[in-house]
C-alpha cells in the first residue's frame, strides 16, 4: 500500500480523530496510521481544527483519484457528507523543504510556517466553516438545516374574496397563497414527508461509493 503524509487545514471543531479515521476507512480511501489534531480560534471567535496525518492508501478507485489529484494539483477535496468536505494537501516536513534554518531562527520560523499553512485556506473556506461552526456542536452537520426559517405562520382569519383575487393576479405570490390556505394537518403531513426524505437522502449518500473527488 502507498503511504502519504497530508495536511488538512480546516476541520469543523466537533469532528474528532476517531471520526476522521473511520471516515477515511469507510470511504475506502485507506487506514490512518497517524493523526495529530490541533484546535484554534479564528478572528470570528469560532473554533476550528487542523490535522497532520499519515495514511496507508487502499488499492481502490477512490484512493487512486485522491493520489492523482495530489500529484497533479497538490490538493484534493474529499466530501464526507452532503454538505461538507475536507481539503487535503501533501505535508512536507520542515527539514525536507529545501532550506536550512539555524538554531537561532528555528523558534521564530516554526509558528510562522504553521500559520502560513492555515492562513492559505482562510479566504477560500473561512466563510463556509464559520457559518457551520455557529450551529450547535452536539448536532451532526447535516442537521444544521435552515429550511424551517421559511415556514409561513398560520393566519386565524380568512382573507375576503377581493383580497384573494388581487393576490392571485400576481404569479409571484400565488404559491404563498397556497401555503396560507393549508390546514394544520396538511402542514404536519408535509413536515413528516420532508423529514422522511432527508433520512432517505442521508442513507443513500452514506451507502454510495464516494468516487467524486475534485
pLDDT in the model for residue 55: 96
- Least confident range from 26-30, 46-50, 58-62, 140-144: namely 140-144
Segment 91-148, tens digit of pLDDT? 877 666 554 444 444 444 444 344 544 444 444 444 444 434 443 444 443 333 333 4
**Residue ranges per domain, the chain?**
3-133, 145-205
Which three cell numbers mark 45?
471567535
More confident call, 49 vs 190: 49
From first CA to last CA, the distance across the chain in angstroms is 22
**In contact, 88 and 117? CB cutoff 8 Å:** no
Q: How far apart are CA 210 and CA 65, in angstroms?
A: 11
Q: How far is CA 177 from CA 30, 66, 146, 149, in A?
A: 53, 49, 22, 18
Q: Which residues contact 32 (CB under 8 A, 6 or more apart)?
A: 20, 21, 24, 25, 53, 54, 55
pLDDT in the model for residue 200: 64
Q: What is the pTM of this model?
A: 0.48
Which three cell numbers mark 125?
473556506
CB-CB neighbours of 84 under 10 Å: 18
Total count of residues recorded for the chain: 214
Percent of the chain with pLDDT over 70: 50
pLDDT in the model for residue 212: 57
Chain centre to alpha carbon of residue 61: 22
Helix (H/G/I), strand (E/B), else coil: 95: helix
Q: Which residue has the cell 471543531?
A: 13
Helix (H/G/I), strand (E/B), else coil: 32: strand
pLDDT in the model for residue 98: 54
Torsion of CA 129, 132, 138, 141, to 10 degrees: -100
Q: How far apart are CA 143 and CA 145, in angstroms?
A: 5
pLDDT in the model for residue 16: 94
Amino acid at each position: 500500500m502507498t503511504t502519504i503524509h497530508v495536511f488538512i487545514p480546516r476541520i469543523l471543531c466537533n469532528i474528532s480523530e476517531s471520526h476522521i479515521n473511520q471516515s477515511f476507512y469507510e470511504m475506502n480511501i485507506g487506514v490512518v496510521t497517524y493523526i495529530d489534531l490541533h484546535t484554534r480560534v479564528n478572528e470570528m471567535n469560532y473554533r476550528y481544527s487542523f490535522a497532520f496525518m499519515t495514511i496507508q492508501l487502499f488499492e481502490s478507485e477512490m484512493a487512486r483519484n485522491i493520489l492523482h489529484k495530489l500529484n497533479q494539483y497538490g490538493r484534493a477535496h474529499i466530501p464526507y457528507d452532503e454538505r461538507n468536505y475536507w481539503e487535503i494537501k501533501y505535508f512536507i516536513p520542515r527539514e525536507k523543504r529545501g532550506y536550512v534554518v539555524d538554531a537561532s531562527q528555528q523558534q521564530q520560523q516554526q509558528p510562522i510556517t504553521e500559520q502560513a499553512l492555515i492562513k492559505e485556506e482562510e479566504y477560500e473556506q473561512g466563510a463556509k466553516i464559520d457559518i457551520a461552526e455557529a450551529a450547535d456542536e452536539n448536532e451532526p452537520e447535516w442537521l444544521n438545516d435552515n429550511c424551517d426559517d421559511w415556514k409561513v405562520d398560520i393566519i386565524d382569519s380568512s382573507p375576503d374574496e377581493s383580497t384573494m383575487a388581487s393576490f392571485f393576479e400576481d404569479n409571484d405570490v400565488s404559491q404563498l397563497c397556497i401555503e396560507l390556505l393549508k390546514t394544520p394537518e396538511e402542514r404536519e403531513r408535509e413536515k413528516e414527508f420532508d423529514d422522511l426524505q432527508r433520512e432517505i437522502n442521508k442513507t443513500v449518500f452514506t451507502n454510495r461509493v464516494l468516487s467524486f473527488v475534485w
